[in-house]
DNA sequence: ACCTGAACACCGTTCAAGT
DNA sequence: ACCTGAACACCGTTCAAGT
């Protein structure tokens, strides 16, 4: 890590917005959402807390930019396929995997509705919905359904991960805990939750996510 | 508002968990998520900040309990219908309307994954998925899809509301802003977002939500 | 133009002390 | 058993002062 120039001098090389965002992502990946503070971040960047504000409006802006960097990358890499349905599948999985790799992303979409990261997904999905031949007046609702599902899964997964991290749990610890709790619910009132507790223990999030996408695609086709 | 007994005496009537949760909901409804602090809340309850901790574990616990009170009510009132699809529709709309009336609810689910508020929805939806005749090994993924969609919409709407509140916007101010921004995007790169900007201005969230539910129900049927 | 770092106005949470 | 309220350990953000 670079040493600070002594005696309150300025740093040799100017900070950049990109540099700050990169450091923020590293911090978020390694310590979670609560690990990102301006104090820790400025220490990492060998600067003062206030310096960051020259490049970044506020914490919200920083989190949005970090989220956007991840999503831009994921969307760019995965938006391919021979049919619109394949593209949607690839896109959705790309976003899912990005959220899986960077668990904080799923809870960050919510900070910037209508802004870059969500907009990128809206655009890509919307284009494919159009190609699918969905009538114009149903395109928004259709794209919305896919997007709400994708972001909904992301939000819940992010929450699970954060909770697990806070308690020092692994993913399977977490599932065990939920399964154990659900299997002891009242059999009359919570028959479904009870019946699902056991399979939940070993289920595959990614496969369930894909199954959800298939249901929605089928619903669009069946119109 | 009740006066505090003078000279550091104890209050005449004991606080209760329910009382605290009720006051928290009122505060959340009137001032949003950022308006709920232990200082303001304890003032409202004419007590000290620390007193609340006798009844409530922490802020997370408080928010979860507040969310659960709203959802328990919504679910209880709306889980009726002649066919499983009707029940699912009614249930989903009930949750949507509750989230619409209490915009903070949508961002609160994420604080308690696998806990009461989410569990209530999982159980009701899951039961109907079973009645629909979905094979056992697909029930979880099917129920999950519906739930992720419902919570996804809720999360985004809650975010929109919070942003609007923070800027002193009405809902239509907010839509205007998004529509204006989207209509000025690059026509090549953002053709879908541009084409949707105008209709977005006057669209009906609730109708779009229902349309999403229909797509998913169709997808389940079309299996 | 860009950075420094102390200061400000908050938070949630704890806890000794009271009744 | 339940409450009080000061104190603690943080936050994000601002801003006069520096180069």
Token output for B195? 């084409």
Token output for B193? 């977002």
Q: Is the CB of B54 under 7 A from strand C?
A: no
> How confident is the model at residue B11, as a pLDDT?
65
Interval A86-119: pLDDT, tens: 999 999 999 999 999 999 999 999 998 888 999 9
Instruction: Please give the average per-residue pLDDT across A195-223, as a whole number.
Output: 95
Asked if residues B78 and B93 have their Cβ atoms less than 8 Å apart, the reply is yes
Protein-covered nucleotides of chain D (CB closer than 7 Å) are: 2-7, 10-16, 18-19
Contact B113 A220 (CB under 8 A): no
| Of A222, A164, A176, the residue nearest A202 (C-alpha) | A176
> How confident is the model at residue A4, as a pLDDT?
36
Residue nearest to nucleotide D14 (CA to C1'): A50
Q: What are phi and psi of B23, to 5 degrees?
A: -65, -35
Give B69 to chain A, closest Cα distance, Å: 17
> How confident is the model at residue B12, as a pLDDT?
64
Q: If contacts are CB pairs under 8 Å, which of residues 97-116 in chain B contact chain A?
A: 107, 109-111, 113-114
DSSP B110: G
Interface residues for strand D (CB within 7 Å) are A 7-10, 36-40, 49-50, 53, 58-60; B 4-5, 8-11, 14-15, 46-51, 53-55
Instruction: Please give the average per-residue pLDDT across A158-176, as a whole number.
Output: 90
Residue A156 in 3-state DSSP?
helix
3-state helix/strand/coil string of A85-114: HHHHHHHHHHHHHHHHHCCCHHHCHHHCCC
What percentage of chain A has pLDDT greater than the value 70? Answer: 95
What is the crossing angle of helices B205-221 and B84-101, to 10°?
150
> How confident is the model at residue B79, as a pLDDT?
76
Place of tokens 């026509």: B187
Token output for B69? 């009170």
Among left, alpha and beta (phi > 0; psi -120 to 50; other), residue B32 is left
Contact B218 A223 (CB under 8 A): yes
Residue nearest to nucleotide C15 (CA to C1'): B50
Contacting residues of A for B127, CB less than 8 Å apart:
191-192
Asked if residues B122 and A192 have their Cβ atoms less than 8 Å apart, the reply is yes
Residues of chain B with pLDDT under 70: 1-12
**Number of neighbouring beta carbons within 10 Å of residue B191:** 15
């Amino acid at each position: 890590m670079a040493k600070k120039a002594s005696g309150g001098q300025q740093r040799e090389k100017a900070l950049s917005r990109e540099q700050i965002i990169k450091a923020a992502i590293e911090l978020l990946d390694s310590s979670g959402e609560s690990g990102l503070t301006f104090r820790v971040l400025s220490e990492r960047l060998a600067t003062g807390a206030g310096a960051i504000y020259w490049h970044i409006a506020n914490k919200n802006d920083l989190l949005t930019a970090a989220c956007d960097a991840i999503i831009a990358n994921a969307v760019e890499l995965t938006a391919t396929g021979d049919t619109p349905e394949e593209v949607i599948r690839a896109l959705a999985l790309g976003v899912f995997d990005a959220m899986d790799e960077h668990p904080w992303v799923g809870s960050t979409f919510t900070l910037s509705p209508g802004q870059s990261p969500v907009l990128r997904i809206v655009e890509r999905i919307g284009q494919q919905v159009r190609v699918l031949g969905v009538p114009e007046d149903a395109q928004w609702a259709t794209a919305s359904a896919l997007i709400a599902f994708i972001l909904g899964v992301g939000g819940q997964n992010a929450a699970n991960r954060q909770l697990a991290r806070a308690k020092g749990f692994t993913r399977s610890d977490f599932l065990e805990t939920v399964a154990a709790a659900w299997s002891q619910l009242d059999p009359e009132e919570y028959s479904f939750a009870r019946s699902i507790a056991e399979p939940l223990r070993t289920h595959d999030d990614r496969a369930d996510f894909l199954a959800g996408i298939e249901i929605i695609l089928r619903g669009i086709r069946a119109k």
